[in-house]
């Protein structure tokens, strides 16, 4: 009877131990799930940190921290794989300036080194008997001791065994405690991996923040220098076009905006404070945009002024041309009248030394003679040349050709030769109007036109050279209006068009 009671009591005790062991295993399963969720959260945060750090991936500290984080993520994936726990592990590798070899001793290897490797799937019955309700699981030291003898590549948790324990379908408390131990190890390793991910992610975030601040400070300094230069240049442009805009307020707006930008650029910024640096950059950007907008308005105002001014100048030039043309016409009419008056008084041609002439006949220096652009080598006194050039212009307008000059000014020696060649028909040397540069011999067509029209230009066919005259020479004409020369008209002065002062 006592034996039966003992057996019954022992069975109850074993059943109670199994119940408690299964409950403990289930609690450890909850821990594993909580650790898995925590690890995935750490990995998700790490992914976000890595994405943020990508903008400063060239920094040495960021590179080192990125490698450490990637290594930790690999270790976490390995830990999850060893414990047969499904964890989504994103790629945390940055696109670095140069390829890097991952050092096996890098941060994160500590996670692998500290993994609780799998132990045997069954426990010694004597060790199981020693467990009590107050100490249902081995100590960490005992687990580590078991870890040292384990096979790294074997799964820590046998799915079927653990599922069976967690379902309560187990008779041995030792099997339940063994499953709980495996689950506890898995939770511990996942927790360790999560902590390692958090630590290396913090390190990367700190490195990225430092690199970002360094970059932003450098960018701020460049922006300040650019802003100062821009403010000075646009202020100079505003002063340059101050009187050449449709609306003076546009210039004032640029000057005010330039002053404001210069003030913002000169404002001291706490370069140790990322927020202060960000505010400084934003303030520069806003002030720059305000100045550029004002400058664009001023450009339009200046362009409008240029267009209006050129229209005004074109109208003014048209009026000046009209005035000048009328003045020229009046001067031509006056000169023509003087030419006609001189021709009327000198129908017999010119006689004597022209007034104001200080040189002897046939001995005029080159300075007293002017060329005829339409007749090579031909020269006349300058008043006569001016008149014949005007006549040639009219002849060309009428016929499309030029007067053909056969003889013009003759030197004394040339007159001697001409008289000798013409057997006395030419004037005696020193008496010919060729010697004064006031006579020409022309071809038939030219002489016929000048006989008919020459009076308007001070040229006459002397009576002695006409048909019935003492010495008919149809080709010979003389200038009889010395002192009547260039038109006395003010030169035409036109306004030049204006260009934009703001064009690059």
Contacting residues for 51 by C-beta, under 8 A, at least 6 apart: none
Check residue 95 and give its pLDDT: 57
- Lateral strand order in the sheet of 459-460: 405-407, 439-442, 476-479, 459-460
Check residue 424 and give its pLDDT: 59
Tokens standing for 348? 């017999």
Tokens standing for 60? 């040495």
Contacting residues for 101 by C-beta, under 8 A, at least 6 apart: none
Tokens standing for 457? 């230009």
- CA 333 to the chain's CA centroid: 62
Q: What are phi and psi of 361, to 5 degrees?
A: -60, 130
Distance, CA of 463 to CA of 438 (rounded, Å)? 16
Q: What are phi and psi of 56, to 5 degrees?
A: -125, 35
Check residue 205 and give its pLDDT: 94
Q: How many CB atoms lie within 10 A of CB 160?
A: 8
Looking up tokens 């019955």, which residue turns up?
Answer: 125
| Candidates 3.30.1380.10, 2.40.50.140, 3.20.20.70, 3.40.50.720; CATH matching 347-479 | 3.30.1380.10
How many angstroms separate the most distant Cα atoms in the chain?
191
- CA 445 to the chain's CA centroid: 69
CA distances from residue 172 to 25, 127, 161, 167, 186 in whole angstroms, order as listed: 13, 13, 12, 13, 22
Check residue 110 and give its pLDDT: 44
Distance separating the N- and C-terminal Cα atoms of the chain: 117
Mark 273-297 as b/e (b = at least 16 C-beta within 10 Å): eeeebeebbebbeebbebbeebbeb
**Domain parsing of the chain, residue ranges:** 2-213, 216-317, 347-479
Going by C-alpha positions, the residue among 460, 454, 452, 457 that lies closest to residue 337 is 457
Distance, CA of 75 to CA of 24 (rounded, Å)? 28
Tokens standing for 445? 């067509």
Check residue 426 and give its pLDDT: 75
Distance, CA of 245 to CA of 109 (rounded, Å)? 72
Distance, CA of 292 to CA of 57 (rounded, Å)? 33
Tens of pLDDT along the chain (504 residues)?
A: 444 444 454 455 578 888 998 998 899 899 999 999 999 999 999 999 999 999 998 889 999 999 999 999 999 999 998 888 888 877 666 554 433 333 333 344 444 444 454 443 333 333 333 333 333 333 333 333 333 333 333 344 445 778 888 888 888 888 888 888 999 999 999 999 999 999 999 999 999 999 999 999 999 999 999 999 999 999 999 999 999 999 999 999 999 999 999 999 999 999 999 999 999 999 999 999 999 999 999 999 999 999 999 999 999 999 999 999 999 999 999 999 999 999 999 999 999 999 878 899 999 999 999 999 999 999 999 999 999 999 999 999 999 999 999 999 999 888 888 887 776 567 788 778 999 999 999 999 999 999 999 999 999 999 999 999 999 999 999 999 998 877 788 899 999 999 999 986
Residue 134 is given by DSSP the state T
Q: How many CB atoms lie within 10 A of CB 355?
A: 7
Strands (DSSP E) contained in 319-438 are 369-372, 375-381, 405-407
Whole-model pTM? 0.61
Distance, CA of 157 to CA of 175 (rounded, Å)? 12
The CA dihedral of 278, 284, 286, 290, to the nearest 10 degrees, is: 180
| Whether the Cβ atoms of residue 225 and residue 262 lie closer than 8 Å to each other | no
Going by C-alpha positions, the residue among 222, 219, 319, 323 that lies closest to residue 274 is 219
| Whether the Cβ atoms of residue 356 and residue 483 lie closer than 8 Å to each other | yes
Looking up tokens 């400070």, which residue turns up?
Answer: 217
Convert 86-123 into a string of H (helix), E (strand) and C (coil): CCCCCCCCCCCCCCCCCCCCCCCHHHHHCCCCCCCCCC
| Whether the Cβ atoms of residue 362 and residue 415 lie closer than 8 Å to each other | yes
């Amino acid at each position: 009877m006592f034996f039966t009671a003992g057996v019954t009591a022992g069975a109850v005790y074993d059943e109670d131990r199994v119940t408690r062991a299964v409950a403990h295993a289930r609690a450890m399963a909850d821990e594993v799930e909580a650790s898995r969720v925590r690890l995935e959260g750490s990995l998700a945060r790490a992914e976000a940190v890595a994405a943020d750090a990508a903008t400063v991936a060239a920094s040495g500290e960021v590179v080192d921290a990125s490698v450490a984080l990637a290594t930790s993520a690999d270790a976490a994936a390995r830990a999850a794989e060893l414990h047969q726990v499904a964890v989504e592990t994103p790629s945390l590798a940055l696109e670095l300036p140069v390829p890097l070899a991952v050092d096996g001793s890098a941060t994160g290897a500590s996670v692998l080194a500290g993994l609780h490797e799998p132990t045997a799937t069954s426990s010694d019955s004597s060790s199981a008997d020693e467990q009590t309700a107050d100490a249902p699981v081995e100590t960490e030291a005992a687990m580590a001791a078991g870890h040292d003898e384990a096979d790294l590549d074997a799964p820590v948790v046998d799915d079927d065994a653990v599922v069976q324990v967690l379902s309560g379908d187990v008779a041995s408390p030792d099997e339940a405690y063994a499953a709980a131990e495996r689950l506890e190890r898995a939770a511990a390793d996942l927790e360790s991996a999560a902590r390692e991910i958090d630590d290396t992610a913090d390190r990367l975030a700190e490195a990225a923040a430092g690199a970002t601040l360094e970059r932003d400070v450098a960018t701020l300094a460049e922006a300040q220098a650019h802003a100062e230069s821009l403010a000075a240049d646009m202020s100079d442009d505003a002063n340059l076009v101050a009187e050449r805009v449709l609306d003076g307020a546009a210039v004032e707006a640029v000057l005010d905006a330039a002053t404001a930008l210069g003030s913002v650029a000169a404002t001291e910024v706490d370069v140790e404070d990322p927020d202060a640096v960000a505010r400084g950059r934003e303030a520069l950007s806003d002030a720059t945009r305000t100045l550029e907008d004002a400058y664009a308005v001023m450009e339009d105002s200046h362009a409008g002024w240029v267009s209006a001014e050129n229209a005004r100048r074109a109208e003014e030039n048209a009026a000046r041309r009209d005035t000048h043309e009328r003045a020229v016409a009046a001067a031509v009419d006056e000169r023509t009248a003087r030419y006609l008056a001189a021709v009327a008084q000198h129908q017999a041609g010119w006689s004597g030394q022209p007034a104001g002439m200080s040189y002897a006949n046939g001995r005029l220096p080159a300075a007293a003679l002017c060329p005829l652009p339409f007749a090579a080598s031909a020269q006349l006194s300058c008043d006569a040349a001016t008149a014949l050039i005007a006549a040639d212009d009219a002849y060309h307008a009428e016929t499309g050709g030029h007067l053909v000059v056969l003889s013009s000014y003759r030197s004394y020696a040339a007159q001697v030769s001409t008289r000798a060649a013409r057997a006395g028909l030419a004037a005696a040397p020193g008496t010919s109007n060729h010697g004064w540069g006031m006579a020409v011999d022309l071809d038939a067509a030219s002489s016929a036109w000048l006989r008919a029209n020459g009076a308007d230009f001070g040229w006459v066919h002397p009576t002695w050279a006409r048909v019935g005259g003492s010495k008919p020479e149809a080709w010979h004409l003389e200038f009889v209006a010395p002192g009547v020369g260039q038109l006395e008209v003010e030169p035409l002065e036109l306004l030049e068009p204006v260009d934009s002062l703001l064009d690059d």
